């Protein structure tokens, strides 16, 4: 098998991947800032890094993946005020929505999923190190800043020049308290009505960048293999993570990987542009497995231009593959095993070249269907097994019990709709005093094992227990 080669944003090149510790891979991925419902732009990142994780596991590595939750942030506080909710309640509400979306698309749960607010102690410890070694300073108003001009490698990811940057936002503190306008806030002084935590430098709350450095260190140590996230995080978030972590003496991330955006009409999908497509809405049109197939079909470093037509075509293409696998299982009398072909492995080892990997699936599908036509069970088995092996890595195996469980939930929802429709017809019959029709509907449901209870709030249905 060929060696795994991955792109590194810091070096702007593809190189052979070698983990820090043999046989083990440590990954930190920036997770959600839980201030709104998840759209497919958010979930594409999760799918891309889930594919990376699955391929690493398939390649024999033990993988630890940390995906954080940013549950304290300017946007969260603003949204909580707008929705008249406690900030922590709003954060939990949207964190749960993200969990549901991840599950719907079969994204494996992270090894650990730390919340920022659960790691204030680690953040204070990191700031103390930075202040003690002269990298950071506290001007006395409760803020703490990192002094960026002391850092030789600042802006290593984006390749920018510090003097070409705009100064850090006033939202990160009072600019006049900074030694340099480009210094950024590690800690923000408490404001009236906002949540705060005590520190040696005054009460306040963490800066966004500080959170990830502290959590990555807490779970993965001073150095780890891969740091991932969306392209939009390169600057300032990931640049500032590197700055504060390396200033503390940590090796931090050995490799940086960034996924591209989902776009509409060439623009990044985001709340601010008003062009977001919520996962909960799209999975009402296509199944979670089909949405995942679509989001994972482009190379992770390529933009994915969204359109409803493209999603529908992608779903149809996936159904053809799914239909072949199910037909193969019927003809073979068993579910095909999962086999990784050399061609698929070569594509995935080439910086996760999913489009090339999909070409191998198309070839398997063509040869497998020819095997069905020729009644060639050997050809059917070989190609079905290689397709299933590929789909398992892509997280789209239709025989995965995860999707079977979701299918049961969908069936329950559909059944609920059908029963409610029958109950509405029964109510209409009773209103027109057609009691024979009303009783016939009730008796028909009863014959199916469904009991009806007439209550003050309307009829309720339930399944009879089997004796």
Domain containing residue 26: CATH number: 3.40.50.620
Selected residue with higher pLDDT from 409 and 124 = 124
pLDDT, position 386: 98
Q: What CA–CA distances, in Å, run from 52 to 6, 183, 287, 314?
A: 10, 34, 22, 21
Compute the half-sphere exposure of residue 440: CA atoms within 13 Å on the CB side of its CA.
7
The predicted pLDDT at position 424 comes to 83
> Measured in whole angstroms, how far is the alpha carbon of residue 89 from the centre of its chain?
21
User: Can you name the residues that pair with 451 across neighbouring β-strands?
Assistant: 462
pLDDT classification of 447: cutoffs 50, 70, 90: confident
Query: How much is the pLDDT for 170?
Result: 44
411 and 367 housed in the same domain:
no
Encoded tokens for 231: 């392209």
Q: What is the pLDDT of residue 455?
A: 63
DSSP state of 286: S
37 assigned to some structural domain: yes
Confidence of residue 462 (pLDDT cuts 50, 70, 90): low
User: Is residue 15's pLDDT more than 90?
Assistant: yes
- Is 96 in the same domain as 224? yes
pLDDT for position 408: 47
Is 150 contained in some domain?
yes
| Average pLDDT along the chain | 91
Residue 416 pLDDT level (bands cut at 50, 70, 90): low
Domain boundary among 249, 268, 287: 268
Sorting pLDDT into bands at 50, 70 and 90, what band is 330?
Answer: very high
Confidence band for 168, pLDDT divided at 50, 70 and 90:
low
Residues 376 and 367: beta-carbon distance below 8 Å: no
What distance in Å separates the CA atoms of residue 336 and residue 159, rounded to the nearest whole number?
49
Per-residue tokens: 173? 């503190």
Token pair in block for residue 194: 């906002």
- Asked whether residue 88 falls in the same domain as residue 164, the answer is yes
**How far, in Å, CA of 378 to CA of 56, rounded?**
29
Whether residue 342 is predicted with pLDDT greater than 50 in this model: the reply is yes
The whole-number pLDDT of residue 297 equals 97
Q: How many CA atoms lie within 13 A of 212 on its CB side?
A: 30
247-257, pLDDT tens digit by residue?
A: 999 999 999 99
Is residue 91 domain-shared with residue 221, that is, in the same domain?
Answer: yes
pLDDT digits (tens, 9 = 90+) for 244-290: 999 999 999 999 999 999 988 777 777 665 666 999 999 999 999 99
Per-residue pLDDT band for 340 (boundaries 50, 70, 90) equals: very high
Residue finishing a domain among 399, 426, 446: 399
Q: At residue 90, does pLDDT exceed 60?
A: yes
Antiparallel, parallel or unpaired: β 450-455 and 458-463:
antiparallel
Distance CA 74, CA 77 (A): 5
Instruction: Place 222 in a pLDDT band, splitting at 50, 70 and 90.
Output: very high
- 387 and 409: one domain? no
Q: What is the pLDDT of residue 172?
A: 47
CB 95 within 8 A of CB 71: yes
- pLDDT at 189 exceeding the cut of 50: yes
In a domain? residue 299? no
Whether 151 and 185 map to the same domain: the answer is yes
* Nearest residue to 297 via CA among 352, 225, 339, 349: 352
Could you report the per-residue pLDDT of 358-414, keeping only the tens digit for each?
999 999 999 999 999 999 999 999 999 999 999 999 999 999 988 865 554 554 556
Which has more pLDDT, 32 or 466?
32
- Judge whether 380 lies within some domain: yes
- What pLDDT, on a 0 to 100 scale, did the predictor assign at position 272? 60
423 inside domain: yes
How large is the average pLDDT for residues 81-92? 94
pLDDT at 171 over 60: no
- Verify that 89 and 21 share a domain, yes or no: yes
| 333 and 430 belong to one structural domain | no
My answer on whether 24 and 95 are in the same domain is yes
The pLDDT-based confidence of 430 (bands split at 50, 70, 90) is confident
CATH number of the CATH domain containing 323: 1.20.120.640
- Tokens standing for 1? 């098998």
CB proximity list for 83: less than 8 A, separation 6 or greater: 90
Task: Decide if 69 contacts 31 (C-beta within 8 A).
Answer: yes
Q: How many residues does the chain have?
A: 467
Q: Are residues 155 and 223 in the same domain?
A: yes
Asked if residue 466 has pLDDT above 70, the reply is no
By residue range, what is the domain housing residue 413?
A: 402-463
Phi, psi (5° rounding) for residue 302?
Answer: -105, 145
**Mean pLDDT, to the nearest integer, of 281-304?**
96
Question: Are both 258 and 371 inside the same structural domain?
Answer: no
Please report whether residue 277 resides in a domain.
no
Asked if residue 253 is part of any domain, the answer here is yes
- Of 399, 418, 435, at which residue does a domain stop? 399
Total structural domains in the chain? 3
Flag whether 300 is in a domain.
no
Long-range contacts of 296-299 (CB under 8 A, 24+ apart): 296/47, 296/48, 296/51, 296/354, 296/394, 296/395, 296/396, 297/354, 297/355, 297/358, 298/260, 298/354, 298/355, 299/351, 299/352, 299/353, 299/354, 299/355
Pair (313, 223) in one structural domain: no
């Amino acid at each position: 098998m060929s060696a795994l080669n991955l792109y590194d944003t810091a070096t702007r090149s593809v190189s052979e991947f070698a983990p820090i510790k043999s046989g083990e891979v440590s990954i930190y991925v920036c997770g959600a800032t839980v201030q709104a419902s998840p759209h497919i732009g958010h979930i594409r990142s999760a799918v891309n890094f889930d594919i990376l994780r699955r391929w690493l596991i398939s390649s024999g590595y033990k993988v630890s993946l940390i995906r954080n939750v940013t549950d304290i942030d300017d946007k969260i506080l603003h949204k909580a005020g707008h929705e008249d909710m406690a900030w922590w309640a709003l954060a939990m509400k949207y964190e749960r929505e993200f969990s549901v979306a991840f599950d719907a698309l079969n994204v494996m749960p992270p090894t650990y999923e730390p919340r920022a607010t659960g790691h204030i102690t680690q953040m204070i410890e990191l700031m103390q190190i930075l202040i003690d070694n002269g990298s950071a300073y506290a001007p006395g108003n409760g803020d703490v800043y990192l002094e960026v001009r002391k850092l030789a490698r600042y802006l290593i990811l984006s390749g920018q020049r510090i003097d070409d940057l705009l100064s850090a936002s006033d939202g990160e503190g009072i600019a006049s308290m900074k030694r340099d306008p480009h210094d950024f806030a590690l800690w923000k002084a408490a404001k009236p009505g906002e949540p705060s935590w005590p520190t040696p430098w005054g009460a306040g709350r963490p800066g966004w960048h500080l959170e990830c450095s502290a959590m990555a260190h807490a779970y993965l140590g001073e150095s780890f293999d891969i740091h991932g996230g969306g392209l939009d995080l390169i600057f300032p978030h990931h640049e500032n993570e590197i700055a504060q972590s390396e200033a503390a003496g940590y090796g931090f991330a050995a490799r940086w990987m960034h996924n591209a955006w989902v776009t509409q009409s060439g623009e990044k999908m985001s709340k601010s542009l008003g062009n977001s497509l919520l996962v909960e809405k799209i999975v009402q049109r296509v199944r979670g497995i089909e949405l995942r197939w679509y989001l994972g079909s482009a190379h992770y470093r390529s933009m994915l231009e969204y359109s409803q037509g493209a999603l529908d075509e992608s779903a149809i293409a996936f159904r053809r593959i799914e239909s072949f696998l199910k037909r193969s299982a019927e003809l073979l009398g068993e579910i095909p095993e999962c086999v990784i072909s050399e061609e698929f492995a070569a594509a995935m080892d080439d910086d996760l070249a999913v489009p090339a990997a999909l070409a191998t699936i198309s070839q398997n599908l063509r040869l497998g269907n020819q095997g069905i036509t020729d009644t060639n069970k050997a050809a059917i088995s070989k190609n079905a097994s290689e397709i299933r092996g590929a789909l398992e890595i892509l997280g789209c195996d239709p025989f995965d019990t995860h999707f079977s469980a979701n299918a049961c939930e969908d069936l329950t929802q559909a059944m609920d709709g059908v029963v409610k429709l029958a109950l509405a017809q029964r109510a209409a019959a009773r209103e027109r005093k057609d009691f024979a029709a009303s009783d016939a509907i009730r008796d028909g449901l009863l014959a199916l094992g469904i009991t009806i209870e007439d209550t003050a709030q309307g009829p309720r249905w339930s399944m009879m227990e089997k004796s």
